[in-house]
Amino acid sequence: MPIFDFLSGQFIDVIEWTDDTRDTMVWRFERQGHEIKYGAKLTVREGQTAVFIHEGQLADVFTPGLYMLETNNMPIMTSLQHWDHGFKSPFKSEIYFVNTNRFTDLKWGTKNPIMLRDPEFGPTRIRAYGTYTVKVSDAAKFMTEIVGTDGEFTTDEVTFQIRNIIVQEFSRSIAGSGIPVLDMAANTGDVGKLVANAISDTISQYGLTLPELYIENISLPPEVEKALDTRTSRGITGNLDEHLKYKAAEALAQQGGAAGNAMGMGMGAGLGMQMGGMMGGPWGAATQPQAAPAAVPPPPPVEHVWHIAENGQTKGPFSKADLGRMTGSGELTRETLVWTQGQDGWMKAEDVSELAQLFTVMPPPPPPPPPAG
C-alpha cells in the first residue's frame, strides 16, 4: 500500500454540524491535531456558515452548500499555504460553524429607573422590559470581534452586552422622544423600532443584527401609580358638588331607618345642598358670600314596635313601654314569641337583648300572707 493511501485513510473526510440546541451560536469542529484531509467534503446547511481559521488568521468563509476542499474553492487558504495546483497533503486548520438563524425570546429590562421630563407629570421615572431577537449577519466579523477561540459559544455569552446596549439606547431614545408617559403604551411599537434602529449601528460592528425588539411593559414607580389611580378615581365621580349631595343624603337616609326615611332624606338633601354651596368655590361657579349654615341636629332614634304571636294569632304592634306593662301583668313571659322589623324571624322574648332587661327588673313574687291569729 502506498504511504499516501495509508495517510489518506487516517484523516477525517466529512465535515458537518447538526445542532440540537437552541442557544449555540458557534461550534468548533473537533478533530485530532486539527488535520483536515485535502479534498474532504464540507457540508454547510441552511442557517449555518463555516469559518476556517488557519494559524490564527481568518482563511475562508463558506455559505450553505456542499464543498470539496480543494485549491479551486479555497483561494485565501491557497494563498496562505502557497499550494501548487494538485497538492494533496493534509492541512491544519480550525473550522468553526456559525449559526445564522434568529435567536428569539431573549430578555431585556432596565435595572434602574430611567429619568425623563414628562410634559404632564414633570420629572418622573419609568421602568421597562421586553424581548428581542438577534441574528449573526457577518460570521467573519462575529468570529474576530466576539468569539475568538471559544469552542462552543452560546447566546448567554453575548446577550449581557446586548442588553446593556438596548437599555442605553432605550434610555436615550425615550428621553428624547417627547412622548408623554400616558401615551407610551399606545406607541410601544414605534418606540421599539426607534430603539432597534439606534442599536443597529452599534451591534453591526460585532457582526450582529437585531431584527426585532419588543417593549412588553412600561411602568411608573408605585407612588406615582397610586397617585394616578387616585386622580382617575376622582375623575370618575364626575361633578363633585352633585356627588357630595348624593352621598350625604344616602348616609342620612340609612341612619333614619324605615320610620324616618322621609325625614332623613329631606334633611340629608338639605345638608347636601349646604355642603355643595360651601364647596362651590374651587369646583363650582362663583357665589355670593353668605353666613355659615346652622348646624343640623341628627334625627332622633327610631323606636322599635313589637308584635306578639299567641295561640296562632298575631297581636300588636306594642311599644317597649307596653311590653313592660305586659310583663308586670304576666301577659308577656320569657317564652313569648316576639318580632320587630329587621329581626330574622320570631324569637323568644328572653333571647332578644332589648327585651331581656324587662325580665331582670321584675319584682319578686309577694310574700305569703301572715297566718291567721
pLDDT in tens, 288-332: 555 556 677 776 666 778 888 888 888 888 888 888 888 888 888
* Residues 132, 134: Cα–Cα separation, whole Å: 7
- Please give the pLDDT value at position 43: 92
* Residues 269, 246: Cα–Cα separation, whole Å: 8
Q: What are phi and psi of 146, to 5 degrees?
A: -120, -55
* Residues 63, 74: Cα–Cα separation, whole Å: 13
* Residues 208, 191: Cα–Cα separation, whole Å: 21
Higher pLDDT, 90 or 218: 218
Q: What is residue 280's three-state secondary structure?
A: coil
Strand order in the sheet with 337-339: 313-318, 306-310, 337-339, 347-348
- Please give the pLDDT value at position 104: 92
Matching CATH number, 103-224, of 3.90.1150.10, 3.40.50.2000, 3.30.479.30, 3.40.50.11260: 3.30.479.30
**pLDDT bracket for residue 361 (50, 70, 90):** low
**pLDDT bracket for residue 5 (50, 70, 90):** very low
**pLDDT bracket for residue 363 (50, 70, 90):** low
Mean pLDDT of the chain, nearest integer: 77
- Please give the pLDDT value at position 277: 52
* Residues 58, 42: Cα–Cα separation, whole Å: 17
| Residue 144 and residue 58 in contact, taking contact as beta carbons nearer than 8 Å | yes
Matching CATH number, 306-360, of 2.30.40.10, 2.60.40.10, 3.30.70.990, 3.30.1490.40: 3.30.1490.40
Q: What are phi and psi of 110, to 5 degrees?
A: -85, 120
**DSSP string across 308-324:** EEETTEEEEEE-HHHHH
pTM of the model: 0.54
**pLDDT bracket for residue 259 (50, 70, 90):** very low
CB neighbours of residue 232 within 10 Å: 9
Grid cell 414633570 is found at 122
pLDDT in tens, 116-160: 888 877 888 888 999 999 999 999 999 988 888 788 889 998 888
Q: What percent of the chain has pLDDT over 70?
A: 72
Question: CB within 8 A of 117, min separation 6: which ones?
Answer: 123, 124, 175
